A and B are shown apart, each in its own frame.
Chain A
Amino acid sequence: MKLIARLALFVCLLLATLAVATPAPAPMNAGEELQHVDGEVGRYGGHLVIGQRSEPKTLNPVTASDAVSREVIGRLTADLITINRESQRTEPGLAKSWTTSADGRTFTLKLRKGIRFSDGHPFDADDVIFSFTVYLDEKVNSPQRDLLIIDDKPLSVTKLDQYTVRFTLPQPYAAAERIFDGLPMLPKHILEKSYREGRFAQSWTLNTSSVEVVGLGPFRVKEYLAGQRIVLERNPYYWKADHENHRLPYLDELVFIFAASEDAQVMRFEAGETDMVSRLSAENFALLNRERARTGTQLVDLGPSLEYNFLVFNLNDLTTKKLDAVASKQAWFRDLKFRQAVSAAIDRDSIVRLVYGTRGTALWGNVGPGNKLWVNQTIPHPQRSLETSRQLLKSAGFSWNDAGQLLDSNGKAVEFSIVTSSSNTQRMKMATLVQDDLAHLGMQVHVVSLDFRAMLDRVFQSFDYEAAVMGLGGGDPDPNPEMNVWLSNGATHLWHLGEAQPASDWEREIDQLMQKQMITLNFQKRKQLYDRVQQLISENLPFIFLATPNVLAGAKAQVGNFHPAVLDHYTLWNADQLYLRTESRGGERAGIR
C-alpha cells in the first residue's frame, strides 16, 4: 500500500513538473527553411529578467501605442524583412529573399517554407495576406496603415503561390523594404474570426488566455500577473538557428517585471532582481560604473542616439485664434537673426555636462553623429558666443536699457515662456539652462512645466504657447520616416502646422528635396539631397537644436551575447541570441532565504 502511495505521489510530482516545464526547442524538420545567424554560440537554459518602466497595456500589435507594450510584442512576433540593429541595414526575416523590379515599385518576396507559429500551425502566404488586409483596413484604424500609404495611395498585396507574395507600390519609394520592419505577421487561424466580427481591437488584450496569443517570435506568453510581471517562454518552433544548427532562442524564459520608474529599475538591477537594463541615465550609469569592479556588470556606452532635442518657437499662423499676446511676440520669433542670436547664446557644453553627465553630444542639426550613414559632416558647429548674439540682435533692431533688459525696436521688453513636459527631467533641465543663458542677453524667460499631454495639446491643437523644448527622432536612421516633420504640410511640422503653401522659400526647397529623395533609389544621390536639407535646416533654424543623449545600457556579467544597439529595442533586439553563462536562474528570488 505504502509503495503504491509513494508511486502515485511520484507520478503526480512528475506530471506536475512536466506541466510547468519550459518547452524544449522542437526537433528540426527536413522541410524547414531556418535562418542561420552568425554570432557566438550560447548555451540553453535560464531565465532572463528585465525591468520595464510601466506595465504593457495590450499584446495586440495593431492597438499598441506605447513603447512598453511594443517591447513585449516585439519578442512575440516576427516581420518579413528586418533591420539589423547593429548594421542598421535590412536583412531577410520571414522572407528568405526578394527581388525588386527595375522601377522599384514591385517587390516579390519568397517566404521560408516549413515555418510554424508558436502553436505549431504552419505559416504561409495566407497569413501574410491576412495581416496586410488587417493593416490596410480603414475601419481598423491601425497606425501601421499610414506606413503603407505613399502619396495617398495604399500599396497592394497579392499572393502568387503558397510561399510567394508580391507587393506593388503606387510609386517608387526609396528604401521601401525598410517598411516591413515593425509590421508583424499575424496568425490567420487565430485572428480571422474576431476580425470578421469587427472585434479585432478586443483581441490579444492582457486578459486573453496565453494559448491564443500566437506568433512567430522567439518567445510566447506563459503567464501575466497584473501590475507585476509578464513571463514569456521559449517558442519551440522558432525559425532561426545558430550556425551550429541549434534552434534558437537559448533562453527558457524571458521575464518582464514592472518597476514604475527608471530609478526603480536601476534599484532592482542593483539588488540583483533584474539582469539587464536599457536606456540608463548618465547619473545611474556613473553609479553602476563605480561598482563595476566589484560586480562585473557589463556597461556599454554606445555613443549618441538618434533622437534630437530642440527649442522651437511658435511660428504658427494665429490670425484665426484669439492669442494676441503670443501673436505680438511672433514678430521676434520670425526674425531669423533673433533665432540665430538665441542659438549662439546657448551653452550646449553645459547641457551635455549637466543634463547628460558628459555622456551626450551637442547638436546643430537634426541628424547627429549617431547616424553615421546620413549625417552631413559639413554643417558648421559654432561655439557659444554672447558677442555674436549681441551683434545679431543689434543688427535686428534690438537694444538694451539701463537695467540690462533687452528691448525690441518698439521699446517692448523681450519676455517669453518656454513650455516643457514635467515628466521629462532632462528637457526641464535643458529649459532651465537655456533660460539662464538667455538671461545673459537681457531676455526674461519663464519655464512653464505642464504635464505631457497638456503640452502636446498646446503645441498641436490650441497653439497657445510661445516656445517649447521638445524631442523627436530616434526611430530609424533613414530620412523617410521623418518626412512629415520637414514637409511643409506635414503633421509634425511643429513650428508651423497646417501650412497650405510653404511659408518661405527654404521650406519650399525642402519640400522638393524631400519628395525627390523619397523616390530616388540610389543611396549617393539621396545622400546629396538630404545633405542639402540638413544644411537648410541648420541655416534657417526652425528648431534650435540642443543635444542628444548617448545610449547607455547594462547587463549582468553572466548575460552572453549582450550587444546593445542605438536603435530600438536597444537590448532585446537580439533576445533570441541572448543566453546565460552560468547555471543560475536569471533573477534571484531576493527575500526568500
Chain B
Amino acid sequence: MRGRTPLLVLALATLHLMAIFAGFIAPYNPGAQNRELPYAPPTRVHFVDASGFHQRPFVYAPTFSLDSYEEDRTRELPIHLFVRGDTYTVLGILRSNLHLFRVDEPAHIFLLGSDGYGRDEFSRLLYGGQISLAAGLLATLLSLAVGTIVGTVSGYYGKWVDESLMGTAELFLSLPWFYFLIAVRAFLPLHLSPAETFLLLIGVIGLIGWARPARLVRGVVLSARSRNCVSAARGFGASDLYLLRRHILPETFGVLLTQAALLVPQYVAAEATLSFFGLGVSEPVPSWGNMLSTLQQYNVLVSYGWLLAPAGALVVTSVIYWLLADLLHSRLKSHSI
C-alpha cells in the first residue's frame, strides 16, 4: 500500500503536466485544419523499411485513394525531436515554439488520427485536457466547498436551519437545470470569449451541484452529532467550533473524499453532456466533451474509432483519481483511530 503512493503521485502529476505542457508535447495547434485529410487514421510509425532498421523512426505521407487512406511509400519522412514549430504559451505566461516532435511537410504525424476537419486528434486531446481537467477540478471544489458548509450547518444545528437549508437543496435538485442552462447560455453577451463563457457555465454546474454533497454530509453529521463522544465533549464544555473541528468534521472526510473522487470525473462528464446539447465549449476550442460529441453520429462511431480517444482519457483520469481517493481514505482512517 505504501509503495504505491509515489507511483500514484507520479501518475497524477504526469496527467496534469501533460495538460499544462500541451503546447510542447503536441506537434500542432489544436485549431490547425488540414482540409484534404479529414478522418485520417493514426499515422503508422515505422522503424524498418526495405533497407533495414533505422534508428530514427519515420512516417509516410498519407494519400487518399479509392475512398480510403493509403501510405505514399515513395518518400520517407523522418520524425525529428525538439523542433521549432507553431508558437504556444504555457499557463498563459511562457511563450515558446519548441515542440517535442514533428515531421516535415508534406507528411503529418497524426498519432491518434484526425477529425472531420483534418485536425490532429492527439494535439487536441492534450489541449482539451487543459479545459476538461480544469473544469472538473474547479466545479468539484466549488460543489464540495458549498456542500460541506451547508451540510454541516444543517446537520449540526438542526431544526429550522436544517429544514430551510435542506429545502433549498431540494429546490436546487428539482430545478430544470437544462432549461436554466439554455436560458443562461442564450442571454449571455456575445462578447465573452469562449473560455470565459465556459468557466461561467462550470460555475453554474458547480453551484447547482452542491445539493448532493450537502445532503450526504448532513447525513453523516447528524449521526456523528449523536455519538457518545460528542455528547461527552459537550458536557465538558466544548464549543460548537471545537466539536465540529475535532469530532464531527473528520467524520465527513470519508464521504467528502469519495465524493471528490467521484465528482471530478462526473463533472468532466457533465461537460460532455453540455457539449452534447451544444451548450459547452464552442469550436474551435477543444475539450474532451466537444470532441466526443461528434461520435453521436452513427457513422463516425462505427467507422472512425480513433476518435474515441477522449473517452480513454476520461477513463485514465477517473482511475487515477479513484486510486488516489482510496489511498487518502485509508491514510485518514488510520490517523483518526
Contacts and interface: CB of A to CB of B under 8 A. Distances in A.
Q: CB atoms of A and B under 8 A apart anywhere in the complex? A: yes
Interface of A: 261, 263, 266-267, 281, 283-284, 286-287, 325, 347, 350, 353-354, 417, 419, 422-423, 425, 428-429, 431-433, 435-436, 446-451, 454, 457, 464-466
B299 A284 contact: yes
Interface in B201-230: none
Interface of B: 31, 33, 35, 38, 116-117, 182, 185-187, 190-191, 193-194, 277-279, 282-284, 296-300, 302-303
Contact of A446 (B279, B282, B299): B282
Given A354-B38, A451-B182, A286 B299 contact: yes
Contact of A350 (B35, B279, B299): B35
A92 B298 CA distance: 42
B282 A423 contact: no
The majority secondary structure among interface residues of chain A is: helix
A433 B35 CA distance: 9
Contacts, number: 82
Residue among A419, A449, A464 with most chain B CB within 10 A:
A449
23 contacts: A261-B296, A281-B297, A283-B299, A283-B300, A284-B299, A354-B35, A354-B117, A419-B190, A423-B278, A428-B278, A429-B116, A431-B283, A435-B283, A435-B284, A436-B33, A446-B193, A446-B282, A449-B282, A450-B185, A454-B185, A454-B186, A457-B186, A466-B190
Nearest to A415: B191
Contacts of A450: 185-186, 278
Given A263-B298, A446-B193, 4 more contacts: A354-B117, A417-B190, A435-B283, A449-B278
B299 A464 contact: no
Contact of A447 (B38, B282, B302, B303): B282
B289 to A, nearest CB: 13
A448 B190 contact: yes
A287 B299 contact: yes
A396 B153 CA distance: 65
Contacts of A435: 283-284
A433 B302 CA distance: 24
Contacts of A454: 182, 185-187
B190 A465 contact: yes
Nearest to B116: A354
Contacts of A267: 298
A261 B297 CA distance: 10
A423 B278 CA distance: 8
A152 B296 CA distance: 47
Nearest 4 Cβ contacts at the A-B interface: A422-B278, A454-B186, A263-B298, A283-B299
A266 B300 CA distance: 13
Contacts of A446: 190, 193-194, 282
Contacts of B303: 287
A446 B186 CA distance: 15
A419 to B, nearest CB: 7
A454 B117 CA distance: 27
B294 to A, nearest CB: 8
Considering residues A267, A419, A450, which has the most beta carbons from chain B within 10 angstroms of its beta carbon?
Answer: A450
Contacts of A457: 186
Contacts of B302: 287
Contact of A422 (B38, B116, B279, B299): B279
A75 to B, nearest CB: 27
Contacts of A423: 278
A350 B37 CA distance: 11
A325 B299 contact: no
Nearest to A439: B31
Nearest to B297: A263
A417 B38 CA distance: 25
B117 A263 contact: no
Contacts of B284: 432, 435-436, 447
A435 B190 CA distance: 16
A587 to B, nearest CB: 20
A281 B187 CA distance: 31
A425 B35 CA distance: 18
B31 A436 contact: yes
Contacts of B194: 446
Given A287-B302, A429-B116, A422 B277 contact: yes
Nearest to B294: A425
B191 A284 contact: no
B206 to A, nearest CB: 22
A410 to B, nearest CB: 18
A446 B194 CA distance: 8
Contacts of A466: 190
A267 B302 CA distance: 11
Interface centre among B190, B282, B297, B302 (most CB of A within 10 A): B190
B278 A451 contact: yes
Contact of A432 (B38, B117, B296): B117
A532 B302 CA distance: 48
A301 B38 CA distance: 22
Contacts of B186: 450-451, 454, 457
A397 B117 CA distance: 33
Best-buried of B31, B38, B186 by chain A (most CB within 10 Å): B186
Contacts of B191: 325, 417
Nearest to A288: B299
B54 to A, nearest CB: 35
A313 B282 CA distance: 20
